[in-house]
Amino acid sequence: MQIIEIMILLVTTICWGMQIWASHRQRFVKNIEHVLIAALLAMLLLHFLMEGYRWMSIPIYILLLLVIANYLFRNKNRQLTRLRSVLFSILIVFATALAWAASAILPVFHFEKPSGQYAVGVIDYTWTDSSRTLNNGDARKLNVRIWYPAASPSKLPVSYIPSPDAFIGALEQQYGAWLKLLKDYRLVHIPASYAPSFSVQASPAPVVVYLHGNHLGTGFTGTFQALELASHGYIVMAVEHPGTAFISAFSEKEYVLFHNEFQDLAESFSAHNAAAIPIINEQQADVEFTLHYLLNIKEYEPDSPLSQQMDSNRIAIMGHSFGGATAANMLVHSPIIKAAINLDGYLYGEYPATPKNKPLLIINGGLQLEELEETMTDLEVERKLREQLLAAGGIELELPEAGHLSFTDLPLYSPLLMPLAPNIKEQHRLINQHTLQFLHKHL
């Protein structure tokens, strides 16, 4: 919950207690109540102006309005019986707890300030690759968010979700009006500014391409890593892949949903790998297109702060889950990729019998949950691929307390996800630490 929300809920509860138990015939009680009601109205106004209204806070607003209605319209000379006072008190305690819980389920979360020396800039693009098409015949569009080292912050804040109205509007169009609850995430901002000047000291900067995971991933679900890397002088380009992202929204009515290519397959690595290869090839084409666009961005986006800031000889790629598979595959097949990081992903793809000696970091989550036990068979095939790549210059680490979602921002969305990703701030710190050490060494 946000600070003013907490204050509103506390003062509302105190007002209810006074209205139920205190004798309103006493002048000082009346005066205190007048002050508290005035304070509530002032805090509500500040909340709307400074923090913004939240759908998940509607129970708090209802409690507050009931307090004010009772203040305005009750019979001031009538006292409740002791039994009614007790019953009303129980009801108010229950309602307050419910309001607190509802607001806390989808909190307005925040990110830690990154530890690097640079301020962080962010810019969003939608680029169209007219040489490739989707199943409906439209040219393939790609949402791209780029974080980079800035000279100094601009005055423009950055929303966590790029174009949040389009993103949430597309979700509403597809899944229904109940997803208005996600509009609260428009209030989540990150410790960065939009489109400031590039830092002269950091130029030309190495580039890290970030690839999200299958289904739940998007171009912004690795923000905790992108912020940290950009503050240490890296350009981080997150490419959102239509069809494997949860949703790629270009407007409220133009979007591409996740399509599950694996749902009817047998739970074997070989079957999943066969289905994964064409997707990996498509994602590799996405990466090659966006890297070319970034390298030549002055031609396409003349006013971009990223113009001529990229060091094309220092490019790494990292990805979570399925994105990690694509990252490892590109390391082997693309000469422009100097290093790769696989975050808790299988090594799907096609690999040569003797891969080139190029640096690969694999970070695995070690959290064991009975409900999420491994069901994939013939993993010895994957293990053999893994050993071949590790022998050619790779490092494999395990974080004992990290779950699969710990490598994303998703556990910040709700405390309900805590069992799947405990101690998330510490896990994010460790992931960033290992990632930076690896990139500093190999780029």
- What CATH number is associated with residue 124? 3.40.50.1820
Total structural domains within the chain: 2
Claim to verify: residue 34 and residue 126 sit in the same structural domain? no
pLDDT at 89: 76
Q: What are the strands of the beta sheet with 157-159, ordered from one edge?
A: 157-159, 189-194, 119-133, 139-150, 235-240, 205-211, 310-320, 339-343, 360-365, 394-399
pLDDT at 80: 58
Q: Which of 105, 134, 156 is the last residue of a domain?
A: 105
Residue pair 310/234 in contact by the 8 Å Cβ criterion: no
Residue 113 lies in a domain: no
Residue 114 lies in a domain: no
Claim to verify: residue 250 and residue 375 sit in the same structural domain? yes
Claim to verify: residue 96 and residue 125 sit in the same structural domain? no
Q: Which of 54, 72, 105 is the last residue of a domain?
A: 105
Residue 315 lies in a domain: yes
Residue pair 246/215 in contact by the 8 Å Cβ criterion: yes
Residue 393 lies in a domain: yes
Strands 205-211 and 157-159: unpaired
d(Cα 114, Cα 226) in Å, to the nearest integer?
10
Q: Which of 61, 82, 105 is the last residue of a domain?
A: 105
Tell me the sheet residues that pair with 248. Answer: 256
Claim to verify: residue 81 and residue 176 sit in the same structural domain? no
Quote the pTM value. Answer: 0.87
Claim to verify: residue 93 and residue 173 sit in the same structural domain? no
pLDDT at 84: 66
Claim to verify: residue 255 and residue 172 sit in the same structural domain? yes
List Cα–Cα distances, 283 to 32, 77, 107, 140, 193, in angstroms.
64, 73, 33, 12, 29
pLDDT at 34: 87
Claim to verify: residue 217 and residue 143 sit in the same structural domain? yes
Tell me the sheet residues that pair with 431. Answer: none
- Parts of the chain with a pLDDT under 70: 1, 22-26, 75-84
pLDDT at 91: 78
Residue 164 lies in a domain: yes
CA angle 340, 205, 341 (to 5 degrees): 10
d(Cα 145, Cα 406) in Å, to the nearest integer?
21
Claim to verify: residue 235 and residue 328 sit in the same structural domain? yes
The domain in which residue 147 lies consists of 119-442
Claim to verify: residue 70 and residue 148 sit in the same structural domain? no
Residue 110 lies in a domain: no
Claim to verify: residue 84 and residue 217 sit in the same structural domain? no
Residue pair 190/231 in contact by the 8 Å Cβ criterion: no
Residue 7 lies in a domain: yes
Residue 187 lies in a domain: yes
Claim to verify: residue 289 and residue 399 sit in the same structural domain? yes
d(Cα 90, Cα 420) in Å, to the nearest integer?
34
d(Cα 342, Cα 320) in Å, to the nearest integer?
6
Residue pair 435/397 in contact by the 8 Å Cβ criterion: no
Question: Which structure tokens are listed for 84?
Answer: 């009614």
Q: Residue 164: CB partners within 8 Å, gap ≥ 6?
A: 183, 185, 186
Claim to verify: residue 255 and residue 196 sit in the same structural domain? yes
d(Cα 46, Cα 48) in Å, to the nearest integer?
5
